[in-house]
């Protein structure tokens, strides 16, 4: 059905990278190489077992030697709903997970499962069981999605024994499902972690006080797992070390050193990470590749067991360096493997220049917060492997001789051109600007966003290698030009434009502030110089308002930031960026004013009203930059479709629009829009996607 675009022929692997393909023993099993897809959320629960199996199996096909689940609950007392989480509570769950194991094993990889109890960090909204904790200390989250009003209970020894028993029972089920590596998860604020950290653990019994006592629960979970699976499965410990390394120890360099020393040879594998999602999975705006090294670099000096860690690794040179310097034994990947599941195979084939590198935007993490299957800016096929039968490296070939004209070489146009060309279409991509890339040419020059340039570079590089693609920059096309060019299909991808719309107490844009010294991001992109002091008024709520405030402050202007939301760049809490956004604004000397409406701009003064109380305040501002409403820049599209007889007479079969020209959104939406359009040129479906259903071998209420 598919033809592979990448043949992996005619190239040779760089011998410097050979170490990445060494086999690594992990207890009783052997990883076929050092590429380890660590546990990460996918948003695919037992409600979508086939979606999940295809998503995980594709990574094994792409060369990852170990492929893991995300967090899998061992008992209803670890209930994260309504966030998507996996379960291993009964035999129905065994059958659902077995699909993933089969898909992973089909390609020779090991399957790992991250067994998980969330303790006090989950609210148990569905199960209505009081959350468990060592000392009744609940997690006071700032993210509304994690907030709840049921406080945790203090575990007694029976509760501790129950959790240990549930871990063993879940391990038995995991073995039946076919997993090769079984995890104990002592990280990210979850229950075993809570026993390790003194702020959570205030017990005065055998499980509290000294580090040796606080580590006891984790040791018992590992022992219970090993007792349950025998010598057929490896037992892994995933542990967060950031807080522990910051704590002094009487006899060790830190409590992290002490914990690792006490457990050094107990698990078969150490999976080491940070403590919170913003630091563990930090966006590229704030942390470089390999940023975990300074926290986890000591572990291999203490244990003889293999160590895996992450760091948004995309460069094989960085990976090789970590192995050769004794930092890691296995290269962990989560986001990198979402962006390009075939990263290992491309390195092995000497095609590392074709890697679709993660840009570190963390849209994948926002998907989990949204409660949906994982999405990726770079890889539109993520989450659609089963639902739409999309493969990132294989494409149906067209039998059509239709020529395709794409007008606009932003993210949507670039993606549509690349996917259409891979399917065999003759593609012409035209853009009015001197440089292709659309909005990204401006945005990737802003503070912290240079890594996002990979969206352009990957696609332009691939397009320039193809003999069925013509690229024309600095080429503005009119309706008459298009009618004369002789293409059968026309796609308009001319983006969107920012407006000067204000925001109302109805929480919608209203009116416009059309007056001198009021600007939009388009003006900044065009190079217009503005005078300070400047108010950046942001109700777009994503990255751009905050980043533009930083840019203007770096130019020496006095800048203030205001928003009707409760935080600066409010939506970035979904992408783990919000704490660092506020830190950057503070460091740049930019005051943040929240929960306000911009009402007026007169005499170099703005009037701001509290969105709830209407209390007024005034602020000096010679210039106002509004980052709010975008509308499609679709005049060319509307002109083309206004006279269908003329387009038919010119031999044009279809005129479509994609990306921001269709519906303004984040870059991930533009890429998906372009990809979806191009795939549907060859394969059209009567339904939007296949609908997955749970596996229920045992009906509800059955005794199993």
**pLDDT tens for residues 280-313?**
889 999 999 999 999 999 999 999 999 999 999 9
Q: How far is CA 466 from CA 404, 459, 471, 631, 702, in A?
A: 15, 11, 11, 34, 58
Q: Is the pLDDT of residue 7 over 60?
A: no
pLDDT band at 143 (very low <50, low <70, confident <90, very high): confident
Mean local confidence (pLDDT), 671-697: 90
Domains of the chain: 13-365 (3.20.20.70), 396-495+633-680 (3.40.50.720), 499-629 (3.50.50.60)
Mean local confidence (pLDDT), 413-427: 98
Q: Is the pLDDT of residue 110 over 80?
A: yes
E strand or H helix at 668, and its extent?
A: helix 667-680
E strand or H helix at 161, and its extent?
A: helix 157-177
User: Per-residue b/e over 9-30, b at no fewer than 16 CB within 10 Å?
Assistant: eebebeeebeebbeebebbebe
Ordered DSSP codes for 276-305? SHHHHT--TTT--TTTTHHHHTTHHHH-SS
Q: How far is CA 492 from CA 50, 260, 657, 673, 674, in A?
A: 35, 57, 5, 12, 10
Phi, psi of 160 (to 5 degrees): -60, -45
List helix spans (H) across 529-634. Answer: 543-554, 578-587
Q: For 521-615, where are the E strands, in sequence order?
A: 534-538, 559-562, 592-593, 596-602, 605-610
- Is the alpha carbon torsion for 542, 544, 548, 551 positive or negative? positive
Strand-pairing partners, residue 35, are 331
Q: Is the pLDDT of residue 47 over 80?
A: yes
Percent of the chain with pLDDT over 70: 98
Q: Catalytic residue, from 5, 190, 458, 561: name it.
A: 190
- Residue closest to 606 by CA, chosen among 517, 530, 506: 517
What are the structure tokens assigned to 3, written together?
Answer: 């033809």
pLDDT band at 697 (very low <50, low <70, confident <90, very high): confident
Taking the C-alpha atoms of residue 527 and residue 510, their distance in angstroms, rounded to an integer, is: 27
Q: Is the pLDDT of residue 141 over 90?
A: no
CB contact at 8 A, 370 and 348:
no
This prediction has a pTM of: 0.95
The conformation of residue 501, written as its DSSP 8-state character, comes to E
Residue 601 has what pLDDT?
96
Q: What is the pLDDT of residues 435-468, one digit of tens each?
A: 999 999 999 999 999 999 999 999 999 999 999 9
Q: Is the pLDDT of residue 5 over 60?
A: no
Q: How far is CA 41 from CA 220, 279, 365, 513, in A?
A: 26, 16, 8, 43
Mean local confidence (pLDDT), 533-545: 98
Taking the C-alpha atoms of residue 92 and residue 76, their distance in angstroms, rounded to an integer, is: 15
User: Per-residue b/e over 83-98, b at no fewer than 16 CB within 10 Å?
Assistant: bbbbbbbebbbbbbbb
Residue 703 has what pLDDT?
58
CB contact at 8 A, 522 and 548:
no
- Residue closest to 543 by CA, chosen among 519, 577, 567, 566: 577
Residue 147 has what pLDDT?
82
Taking the C-alpha atoms of residue 121 and residue 118, their distance in angstroms, rounded to an integer, is: 6
CB contact at 8 A, 498 and 542:
no
17 tagged catalytic: no
């Amino acid at each position: 059905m598919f033809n592979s675009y990448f043949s992996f022929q005619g190239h040779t692997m760089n011998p410097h990278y050979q170490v990445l393909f060494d086999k690594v023993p992990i207890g009783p099993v052997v990883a076929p190489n050092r590429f380890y897809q660590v546990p990460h959320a996918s948003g695919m629960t037992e409600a979508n077992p086939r979606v999940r199996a295809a998503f995980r199996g594709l990574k094994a096909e792409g060369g990852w030697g170990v492929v893991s689940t995300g967090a899998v609950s061992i008992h209803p007392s670890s209930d994260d709903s309504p966030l998507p989480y996996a379960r291993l509570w009964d035999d129905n769950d065994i059958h659902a997970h077995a699909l993933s194991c089969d898909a992973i094993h089909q390609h020779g990889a090991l399957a790992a499962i991250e067994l998980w109890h969330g303790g006090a960090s989950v609210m148990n909204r569905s199960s209505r069981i009081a959350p468990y904790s060592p000392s009744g200390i609940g997690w006071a989250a700032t993210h509304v999605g994690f907030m709840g009003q049921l406080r945790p209970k203090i575990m007694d020894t029976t509760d501790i024994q129950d959790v240990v028993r549930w871990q063993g029972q879940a391990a038995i089920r995991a073995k039946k499902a076919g997993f090769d590596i079984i995890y104990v998860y002592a990280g990210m604020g979850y229950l075993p972690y809570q026993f390790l950290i003194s702020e959570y653990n205030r017990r005065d019994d055998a499980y509290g006080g000294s580090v040796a006592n606080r580590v006891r629960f984790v040791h018992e979970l590992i022992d219970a797992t090993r007792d349950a699976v025998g010598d057929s499965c490896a037992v892994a410990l995933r542990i967060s070390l950031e807080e522990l390394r910051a704590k002094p120890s009487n006899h060790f360099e830190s409590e992290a050193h002490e914990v690792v020393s006490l457990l050094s040879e107990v698990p078969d594998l150490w999976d080491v990470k940070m403590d919170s999602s913003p630091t563990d999975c930090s966006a590229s705006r704030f942390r470089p590749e390999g940023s975990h090294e300074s926290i986890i670099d000591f572990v291999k000096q203490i244990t003889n067991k293999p160590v895996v860690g992450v760091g948004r690794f995309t460069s094989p040179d960085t990976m090789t360096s970590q192995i050769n310097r004794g930092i890691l034994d296995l290269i962990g990947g989560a986001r990198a493997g979402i962006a390009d599941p075939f990263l290992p195979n491309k390195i092995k084939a000497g095609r590392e220049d074709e890697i679709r590198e993660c840009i570190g935007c963390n849209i994948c993490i926002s998907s989990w917060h949204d409660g949906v299957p994982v999405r990726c800016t770079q890889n539109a096929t993520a989450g659609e492997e089963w639902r739409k039968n999309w493969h990132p490296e294989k494409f149906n070939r067209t039998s059509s001789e239709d020529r395709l004209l794409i007008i606009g070489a932003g993210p949507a146009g670039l993606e549509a051109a690349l996917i259409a060309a891979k399917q065999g279409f003759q593609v012409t991509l035209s853009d009015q600007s001197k440089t292709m890339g659309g909005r990204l040419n401006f945005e990737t020059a802003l503070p912290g966003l240079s890594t996002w340039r990979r969206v352009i570079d990957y696609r332009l590089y691939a397009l320039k290698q193809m003999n069925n693609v013509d690229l024309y920059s600095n080429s503005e096309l009119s309706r008459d030009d298009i009618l004369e060019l002789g293409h059968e299909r026309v796609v308009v991808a001319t983006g969107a434009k920012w407006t000067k719309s204000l925001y109302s107490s109805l929480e919608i844009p209203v009116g416009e502030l059309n007056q001198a010294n009021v600007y939009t991001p388009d003006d900044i992109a065009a190079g217009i110089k503005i005078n300070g002091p400047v108010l950046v008024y942001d109700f777009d709520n994503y990255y751009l308002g905050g980043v533009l405030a930083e840019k203007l402050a770096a130019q020496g202007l006095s800048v203030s930031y205001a928003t009707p939301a409760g935080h600066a760049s409010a939506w970035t809490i979904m992408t783990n960026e919000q704490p660092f956004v506020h830190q950057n604004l503070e460091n740049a000397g930019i005051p943040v004013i929240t929960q306000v409406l911009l009402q007026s701009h007169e005499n170099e003064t703005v009037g701001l009203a509290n969105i709830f109380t209407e209390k007024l305040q005034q602020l000096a501002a010679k210039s106002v930059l509004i980052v709010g409403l975008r509308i499609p820049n679709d005049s060319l599209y509307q002109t083309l479709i206004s006279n269908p007889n003329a387009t038919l007479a010119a031999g044009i079969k279809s005129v479509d629009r994609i990306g921001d020209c269709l519906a303004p959104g984040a870059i991930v939406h533009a890429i998906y829009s372009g990809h979806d359009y191009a795939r549907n040129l060859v394969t059209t479906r009567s339904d939007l996607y296949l609908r997955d259903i749970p596996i229920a071998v045992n009906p509800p209420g059955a005794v199993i």
